[in-house]
Amino acid sequence: MRNLIFIMIILITTPAQSFMGMTAMRLGKKAVAVVAGALEFFVGDPDGIGYLDGYRTTARVFFPMKIKVNSGEIFFQDLALSRKVDTAGNVSTLSGTFTADSDIAMSSLSANPEVTMTGEDFAGNKYLLTSYSILKYDGSTFMPFVGSIPGTADGTGTSASFTSLSEMTFDSANNIYVTDNGTRVRKITPAGVVTTIAGSTTAGNAVGVGTAARFAGAKFIAFAAPNYLYVYDEAYTHIKRIDLASSNTVSHFAGPTTTPGFSIVDGTGAAARFMVMMKMKVDPSGNLFVTNYTVLRKITPGAVVTTVAGRIPTSNLAYKDGTGTAAEFGLIQDFDFDTNGDIYVADFGAIRKVTSAGVVTTFVGHPPNRGMLNANGTAAKFLDINSIAAIGGNIYIADTMNNLIRRSNSSGVVTTFAGSGDSGSDNGTGSAATFDGPYSMTFDNSGNLYVYDSVSYRMRKISPSAVVSTIAGGAEGSADGTGAAAQFGSVGSMIADSAGNIYLTMTDYCVVRKITSAGVVSTIAGVASDCSPTNGTGTAAKFGNPKGLAIDSSGNLFISDSWDHTIKKMTLPGGVVTTFAGSSGAAGINDGTGASARFTEPGAMVIDPATNNLYVFDSGSGLLRKITPAGVVTTVLGTSNVIKNQTGATPTLGMVTSMTISGGKLYLAANYGVMRINLP
């Protein structure tokens, strides 16, 4: 269960720019012929998630977050893209505007990060929900409808105020109901009149009439004809029901009445138990459906709770078609109903279909083959690869969600090098050690492997004999210091110099830092939390979102500044930061020399020590770029509007998180596996 929570946090809170393809789908198409040798899947499953239009199972999706079925067509929000499945099963990417037949407002969500939900009433009016206001579509743009500043006042239009809106639903008269700050349920008429119908500003847990009732964590809300509202209170993991025809009387409906349950138990009324709920909707027959991470459940009007499909996995998030609890989901974000009684589920990496009998099939996409299995080549399974590093012909793999450091030899035989699979920060040898979200890695010249534990904010060191120790960190922040006094945040990449110093980027604080062999941590470039790109020396230089790192044979440090769309060069030890390739703030895919070249959110990087050629994965375009020591940029692999890891005559790239070089081959970590290709 801890892994489920961790992966949900990673997926939802990772900045949108780090997910490949959202920009690429808007770039010009650029295909590249590969002449250096075919791209091959080396270990695990690099295929799966991505962005690719086409027929249902040929298409690729990344992270469907919202879904709506309308007249046989399926509309879904794939992170920052609006996509559609037509009645013939063809997947296409829409323009990103608010289409007439969909309530998924992609352009508005992208333009306004405060938007938390979209909705459409029975008359076709479209709304956006922010933390303390509701906007209404007037045919060309979204205009303020109710609310404007934080507050608790009832009233009309913008004179009313909200504290923190979570969800909204609509009744058949086109009234809007919202949950506000976890303690109140508010009603908004079509004329914009706002009233509080249940709960108060005081948190609690009580049934009663209208404002005499109490909520502590009211979040999801759903209307059921003719006159019921269902409200999920996440503080108590139960559902209350409001009878709109009976003076807004609030009663317990399902789940524990007092003590939170945090488990999956079917039953009637108070005997049922729920885990953290992800979504709640009512079907045309008045049944309430809810999702608990990877489980889809049904609640009848009589409060009988049953599991329709899915189960809570004992260890890893998995994908499996099947019936009822034999089926498995990755991470359910949303669902909707068609007129045949089937349910379409927005799952991580796929759209799944669930029949009324609980039969689950994959409708769109290719669910990733992930998990934990040591095996040969593509038979091996990984849960989440974020970094790879090479030494002695072996490839070492940070399997983040499995809390393991894995190793593959040149033949693709995968074994576990360090870690037990449990989360923790125990030092020890091999499987006696524990890790907590191992994320970035690099080797020093002595063969020691440095690993950053992203959950515990610790820098770990693994000797060639797999002895694990902690050298720095232990708390979140940006403080410099020695050993445990130092703090870390989100580490994008790490690299070692010939003297054994470790350099790292911190993407959240926009700095580059150095760790000596004695565990002394210092910031050598950038200013913590000042993310306005500027060239300069040392802390006078600033970065927008530093990610990838590489060091050439002269000791120069190269930094991919993702949000600045540039590759920076930093002299060592002088600390002079200049732009090596690309133009500050200018995204694109043009090849060229120095400032004439363009990048789009460059990420992972590696240098070929034999030539000092720098390889950069352009994460916003899905292209692999090569930069010579003279700054000449060429594109060597990929197609800019196809975001999918694909072998064959025209190979393409999707999500690449890390790269390394070994034996004349370039290795690329992608999704749940590793690919490789002869050095272009």
Q: Return the domain boundaries, the chain.
A: 377-678
Residues 436-443, mean pLDDT to the nearest whole number:
97
Question: Which tens digits make up the pLDDT trace of 269-278?
Answer: 999 999 888 9
For residue 428, what are the contacts with CB-CB under 8 A and spacing of at least 6?
Answer: 434, 467, 468
> Given a cut of 60, is residue 105 above it in pLDDT?
no
Instruction: Give the pLDDT confidence of 547-604 residue by residue, as tens digits.
Output: 999 999 999 999 999 999 999 999 999 899 999 999 999 999 999 999 999 999 999 9
**Is the model's pLDDT at 244 over the cut of 50?**
yes
Statement: residue 365 has pLDDT above 50: yes
Phi, psi of 340, rounded to the nearest 5 degrees: -95, 0
Residue written as tokens 């907590």? 436
Q: Answer whether residue 426 shows pLDDT above 80.
A: yes
Mean pLDDT over 644-666 rounds to: 90
Q: Which of 8-12, 110-114, 172-176 has the highest mean pLDDT?
A: 172-176
pLDDT of residue 437: 96
Phi and psi (nearest 5°) for 431?
-75, -5
Q: pLDDT tens digits, residue range 607-627?
A: 999 999 999 999 988 899 999
Query: What pLDDT does 315 receive?
Result: 58
Q: Over 70: is that where the pLDDT of 12 sits?
A: no
What residues have CB less than 8 Å from 581, skipping those under 6 apart? 566, 567, 594, 595, 597, 599, 627, 631, 633
Query: Is residue 172 within 8 Å of residue 225, measured between CB atoms?
Result: yes
**pLDDT tens column, 37-54:** 589 999 998 887 888 899
Query: With bands split at pLDDT 50, 70 and 90, how would you rate the model's confidence at 512?
Result: very high
Report percent pLDDT > 90 for the chain.
Answer: 76
Residue 48, pLDDT score? 74
Contacts of 10 by beta carbon, 8 Å cutoff, 6+ apart: 384
Reply yes or no on whether the pLDDT at 333 is more than 70: yes
Query: Using a CB cutoff of 8 Å and minimum separation of 24, what contacts does 138-147 make?
Result: 142/105, 142/108, 145/188, 145/192, 146/188, 146/192, 146/194, 147/194
Q: Spell out the residues 6+ positions from residue 474 whose beta carbon is closer than 8 angstroms to its own.
A: 425, 456, 457, 458, 484, 487
**Helix or strand run (H / E) with residue 5:** helix 2-13
Residue 454 CA, chain-centre distance (Å), reads: 15
Residue 76 has pLDDT above 70, yes or no: yes
Q: Which pLDDT belongs to residue 236?
A: 96
Reduced to 3 states, what is the DSSP secondary structure of residue 234?
A: coil
What average pLDDT does the segment 628-648 reach? 89
Least confident of 67-71, 183-187, 471-475, 661-665: 67-71
The pLDDT assigned to 35 comes to 46
Report angle CA 656, 660, 665 to the nearest 5 degrees. 105
Q: Are 670 and 653 spatial neighbours (Cβ–Cβ below 8 Å)?
A: yes
**Does pLDDT of 71 surpass 80?**
yes
Architecture of domain 377-678: 6 Propeller (2.120)
The pLDDT, as a whole number, for residue 118 is: 81
Confidence band for 140, pLDDT divided at 50, 70 and 90: confident
What is the CB neighbour count within 10 angstroms for residue 51?
A: 27
Partners of 451 in beta bridges: 441, 460
Residue 371 pLDDT? 86
Average pLDDT score, the chain: 90
Q: How far apart are CA 568 and CA 541, in angstroms?
A: 10
Provide the percentage of residues in the chain whose pLDDT is more than 70: 91
Binned at pLDDT 50, 70 and 90, residue 280 comes out as: very high
How far does Cα 330 stand from its chain's mean position?
13
pLDDT (0 to 100) of residue 30: 62
pLDDT tens figures, 389-414: 999 999 999 999 999 999 999 999 99
> Is residue 7's pLDDT more than 90?
no
pLDDT for the residue numbered 542: 97
Structure tokens at 124: 């076709």
4 pLDDT band, cuts 50/70/90, is very low
Q: Distance (Å, rounded) from C-alpha 660 to C-alpha 388? A: 6
Count other C-beta atoms under 10 Å from residue 284's C-beta.
Answer: 10
16 φ, ψ (degrees, to nearest 5) = -60, -30
Q: Cα separations (Å) of 669 from 347, 388, 395, 658?
A: 23, 7, 10, 5
Residue 20 — very low, low, confident or very high, per pLDDT cuts 50/70/90? Answer: very low
pLDDT of 31: 56
- What pLDDT, on a 0 to 100 scale, did the predictor assign at position 97? 39
Residue 163 has pLDDT above 60, yes or no: yes
Total residues belonging to the chain? 680
19-33, 331-345, 453-467: least confidently modelled range: 19-33
User: Using CB atoms within 10 A of its CB, is residue 566 exposed (0-12), middle (13-18) or buried (19+)?
Assistant: buried
What lies within 8 Å, CB to CB, of 556 at 6+ separation is: 569, 570, 571, 572
